[in-house]
């Protein structure tokens, strides 16, 4: 029988990052591809009889539906990840996400099958969200549980760059096919980016199948110390971590939905800019986030997670009104400036730290379940922010101050949550129970 201290050989971090990042890239390519399509074409293909603004609202609502199934995925795959292991679940979630995205590319539109078109679209979006619900926790743990303690922030930030990289690839592919004549793009061109997800899926699976289980979970499994019902154990022993994690994530998740899918719709539909202006601005947002995320992760290894995350929430709240003022100045350059600088608070100071921070907040026996539940329940709420923001535009005759106030509120939630957060930079991620747990290591569960 394997002894708990007989750890498997430690994997090279470049191999670990390749396995984690490949899935994160596919995950965010697929999810952001849907967001782009919801803002640009789904309103015309699946809701053609609606007023343009209402059609956009309905399209963005289907975007939000994918977030509803994310907590369900967190419950299912978090449980399995804490009971069976990180690696196997990561393979399953990747296949679910990639398969649903590929099938979206094959869907007939409203003119072909009527109401069944949006019904099938929503169904596949729910399946996509189910897989995504388990992806973040597994990819984060694969990296952070392998990483050296003194540089966990840096290594943990690298899978988070899958967000901007996936988005940039999605924008590039959609923009390429958008150069087609409009009839061709609406007929078949929009489908190709969804079908191309199969390439990312195959590559990602080949990489992930070669990675070993994390040393932390290997010890738990060797000692047969898995919790019977990991989520219930996490809720009982780490209630503070669950609540704080939910709130801390909400500010970043909600505002990122304003700065990306909502911003594209608002700039093109309400402000009258071309799609190229909107997409360029969001590209700048993601490029700045991509460049600074590893820097923020490395800084957190020196100053701590809490102060940097707190700064992100403050920046989000303070820049909400200036963001919309710049957008409404009527210049593409001011719009691009606003959309680029919006990345500093949410994408850089908050998103870059989440994989490491959420891992450190829970003991290894319940970590997959606890962090996934906190992360994905907040994502579920955030998923409806674009529809809520669009509803505010409709209700207030196009005025942006209610949307700005919504962003301020989201940033404030993150600030308050972070104030209740413990610093986690020095915790041992291999311990069965985290320092914040309310019982002794290995007891109960």
Last residue of a domain, one of 166, 183, 217: 217
- Residue 112 host element (H or E): helix 110-113
Q: Give yes or no: residues 82 and 146 share one domain.
A: yes
Report the CATH number at residue 241: 1.20.1250.20
6 occurs within a structural domain: no
How many structural domains does the chain have?
Answer: 2
In order along its 445 residues, the chain shows pLDDT tens digits of 344 455 555 677 888 888 888 878 888 888 778 877 776 777 677 766 655 555 566 666 666 677 788 899 999 999 998 988 888 888 888 889 888 889 998 988 877 887 788 788 888 888 888 888 888 888 888 889 888 889 999 999 999 998 889 888 988 888 888 888 888 888 888 899 999 988 888 888 888 877 777 888 888 888 877 888 999 999 999 999 999 999 999 989 999 889 887 888 888 888 888 778 888 888 888 899 999 999 999 999 999 999 999 999 999 999 999 999 999 998 889 989 998 888 888 888 999 999 999 999 998 889 999 999 999 999 888 878 888 898 899 889 889 999 999 999 999 999 999 999 989 988 877 766 665 555 333 333 3
DSSP letters, 115-165, are: THHHHHHHHHHHHHHHHHHHHHHHHHHHHHTTS-GGGHHHHHHHHHTHHHH
Task: Let me know whether 28 and 62 are in one domain.
Answer: yes
Distance of CA 171 to the CA centre of its chain: 17
User: Are 54 and 195 contained in the same domain?
Assistant: yes
- Same structural domain, 410 and 331: yes
The pLDDT, as a whole number, for residue 217 is 82
Q: How many helices (H) and strands (E) are present in the chain, helices listed first?
A: 23, 0
- Report H helices in 328-422: 332-341, 354-360, 367-382, 385-395, 401-419
Q: Clarify whether residues 186 and 299 are in a common domain.
A: no
CA pair distance 80, 364, nearest whole angstrom: 13
pLDDT score recorded for residue 415: 96
217, 251, 284: which is the final residue of a domain? 217
- Same domain? 65 vs 208: yes
Is the domain of 125 the same as that of 22?
Answer: yes
Same domain as 302, residue 212: no
pTM higher than the cut 0.75:
yes
> What's residue 192's pLDDT?
92
Q: Is the dihedral of CA 24, 25, 28, 31 positive or negative?
A: negative
Write down which residue in 189, 217, 245 finishes a domain: 217
Q: Report if residue 441 sits inside a domain.
A: no
Alpha carbons within 13 A on the beta-carbon side of 177: 24
The predicted pLDDT at position 54 comes to 58
Report the distance separating Cα 323 and Cα 334, nearest Å: 9
Residue 222 within a domain = no
Tell me whether residue 249 is in a domain: yes
- The reported pLDDT for the residue numbered 53 is 58
pLDDT one-digit tens code per residue, 274-316: 778 888 888 888 899 999 999 999 999 999 999 999 999 999 9
> What radius of gyration, in Å, describes the C-alpha atoms of the chain?
21
177/284 same-domain check: no
d(CA 300, CA 135): 23
Q: What is the pLDDT of residue 50?
A: 55
* 331 & 186 share domain: no
Contact 261, 382 (CB under 8 A): no
Please tell me what DSSP assigns to residue 439: S
Residue 66 counted as domain residue: yes
Residues 6+ apart with CB under 8 A from 163: 24, 28, 32, 286, 289, 347, 351
Is 182 inside a domain boundary? yes
Which residue range(s) make up the domain with 75? 11-217
pLDDT at 319: 93
Q: Give the Cβ contact number of residue 393 at 10 Å.
A: 21
Considering the domain architecture, whether residues 170 and 38 belong to the same structural domain is answered as yes
């Amino acid at each position: 029988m394997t002894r708990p201290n007989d750890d498997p050989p430690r994997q090279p971090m470049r191999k670990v990052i390749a396995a984690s990042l490949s899935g994160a890239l596919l995950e965010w390519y697929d999810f952001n591809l849907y967001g782009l399509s919801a803002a640009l074409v789904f309103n015309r293909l699946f809701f053609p009889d609606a007023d343009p603004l209402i059609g956009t609202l309905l399209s963005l609502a289907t975007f939000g539906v994918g977030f509803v199934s994310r907590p369900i995925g967190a419950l299912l795959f978090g449980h399995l990840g804490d009971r069976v292991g990180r690696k196997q679940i990561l393979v399953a979630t990747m296949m679910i996400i990639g398969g649903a995205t590929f099938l979206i590319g094959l869907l007939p539109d409203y003119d072909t099958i009527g109401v069944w078109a949006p019904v099938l679209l929503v169904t596949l979006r729910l399946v996509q969200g189910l897989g995504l619900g388990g992806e973040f926790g597994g990819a984060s743990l694969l990296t952070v549980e392998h990483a050296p303690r003194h540089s966990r922030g840096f290594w943990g930030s690298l899978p988070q760059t899958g967000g901007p990289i996936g988005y940039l690839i999605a924008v590039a592919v959609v923009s390429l096919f958008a150069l087609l004549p409009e009839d061709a793009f609406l007929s078949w061109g929009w489908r190709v980016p969804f079908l191309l997800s199969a390439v990312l899926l195959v590559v990602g699976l080949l990489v992930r199948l070669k990675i070993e289980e994390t040393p932390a979970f290997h010890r738990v499994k060797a000692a047969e110390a898995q919790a019977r019902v990991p989520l219930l154990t996490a809720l009982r022993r780490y209630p503070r971590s669950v609540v704080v994690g939910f709130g801390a994530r909400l500010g970043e998740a909600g505002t990122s939905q304003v700065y990306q899918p909502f911003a594209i719709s608002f700039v093109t539909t309400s402000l009258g800019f071309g799609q190229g202006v909107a997409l360029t601005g969001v590209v700048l947002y993601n490029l700045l986030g991509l460049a600074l995320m590893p820097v923020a992760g490395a800084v957190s290894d020196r100053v701590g997670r809490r102060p940097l995350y707190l700064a992100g929430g403050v920046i989000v709240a303070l820049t909400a009104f200036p963001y919309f003022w710049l957008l409404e100045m009527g210049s593409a350059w001011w719009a691009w400036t606003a959309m680029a600088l919006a990345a500093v608070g949410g994408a850089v100071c908050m998103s870059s730290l989440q994989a490491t921070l959420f891992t450190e907040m829970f003991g290894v026996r319940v970590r997959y379940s606890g962090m996934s539940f906190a992360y994905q329940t907040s994502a579920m709420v955030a998923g409806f922010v674009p529809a809520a923001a669009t509803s505010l535009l409709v209700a207030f005759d196009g005025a942006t101050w209610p949307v700005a106030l919504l962003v301020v509120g989201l940033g404030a939630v993150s600030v308050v949550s972070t104030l209740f957060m413990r610093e986690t930079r020095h915790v041992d991620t291999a311990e069965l129970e985290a320092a914040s747990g309310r019982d002794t290591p290995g007891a109960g569960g």
